[in-house]
Amino acid sequence: MNIVLFGPPGAGKGTQAKKLAGHYKIPHISTGDILRANLREGTELGLAAKEYMDKGELVPDEVLIGIIKNRLAEPDCQVGFLLDGYPRTIPQADALSGILDEISKPLEVVLNIDVPDNELVIRLGGRRMCSCGASYHIKFNPPEMDGICDTCGGTLYQRDDDKDDAIRQRLKVYQEQTQPLIDYYNRMGILVTVDGTGDIDEVFADICDMLDK
Ligand code: ADP
Ligand code: ADP
Ligand code: ZN
């Protein structure tokens, strides 16, 4: 299955992608996770991305295209992939089509998780992350032990871009630069929208129903 998980910041893409990757046994490719790992390791790429990420802006398209091209060429993507957080602009979507054409792996579904802005602000404000990629919510999806990751025992932290100003900026960037992709993929006939307002398990069940059809 070749899938893009689409939606605004905080819609639950990462949360659903983790569950879907386990269920369908396909790799979860999150550009946000890849960039944050580079930041932690202090790579050149991480340094180049930092100033954009801190401000809630998009990292330039050229930077992302190389990352995606290399990642999709890895052997685990033979069985399919679940892209999360990419593409986010029309040039990225065009680049993705080109890359997938080259490796003869057409996109099958773009799954748009729909959640209203007021709910997104609540989700992002309460999000806590682990460096292993797990994410929690202080109210909606708390870890068993306060501040500790259930999966790896790591210490949870709040992302700098999950603070008020950056949240507002990211929602604005989403509306201006990413939302136009809804039309783009609708015209291609591969867009499916799911209601993302239910709890995590409800949304997961809806997505699986949709994909199994
Ligand atoms: P995205 O990857 O789209 O930015 P995340 O998966 O990180 O979103 O989810 C954002 C926050 O909302 C996290 O704190 C997560 O635990 C929480 N969350 C995800 N899905 C739901 C849901 N269906 N209901 C309530 N909270 C959710
Ligand atoms: P969320 O889904 O919660 O908005 P991500 O973890 O996907 O956040 O992305 C965090 C940040 O990483 C973005 O605000 C942006 O700076 C950068 N980023 C991630 N993916 C992309 C992308 N495809 N294009 C440009 N920037 C990206
Ligand atoms: Zn962890």
With cut-offs at 50, 70 and 90, classify the pLDDT of residue 61.
Answer: very high
Nearest to 67 by CA among 18, 29, 15: 29
Nearest to 91 by CA among 63, 56, 54: 63
Tens digits of per-residue pLDDT, 5-38?
999 999 999 999 999 999 999 999 999 999 999 9
* pLDDT score recorded for residue 126: 97
Kindly state the tokens that stand for 181: 């992709």
Q: Write down the catalytic residue from 159, 168, 187, 213.
A: 159
φ, ψ for residue 84, nearest 5 deg: -130, 115
With cut-offs at 50, 70 and 90, classify the pLDDT of residue 187.
Answer: very high
Inter-residue contact 49 to 121 (CB < 8 Å): no
Q: Residues near 77 by Cβ (< 8 Å), separated by ≥ 6?
A: 27, 29, 71, 105
* pLDDT score recorded for residue 201: 98
* pLDDT score recorded for residue 133: 86
Which of 67, 94, 161 best tests ligand 2's pocket when mutated (most atoms within 8 Å of CB)? 161
Return d(Cα 111, Cα 182) in angstroms, integer: 10
Tens digits of per-residue pLDDT, 83-124?
999 999 999 999 999 999 999 999 999 999 999 999 999 999
CA of 172 to the centre of ligand 1 (A): 18
Inter-residue contact 65 to 92 (CB < 8 Å): yes
Nearest ligand to the CA of 150 is 3
* pLDDT score recorded for residue 213: 87
Q: Which residues form ligand 2's pocket by a CB distance below 6 Å?
A: 9-10, 13, 31-32, 35, 52-53, 56-59, 64, 85-86, 88, 92, 161, 170
All structural domains of the chain, each given as residue ranges with its CATH number in brackets, are 2-212 (3.40.50.300)
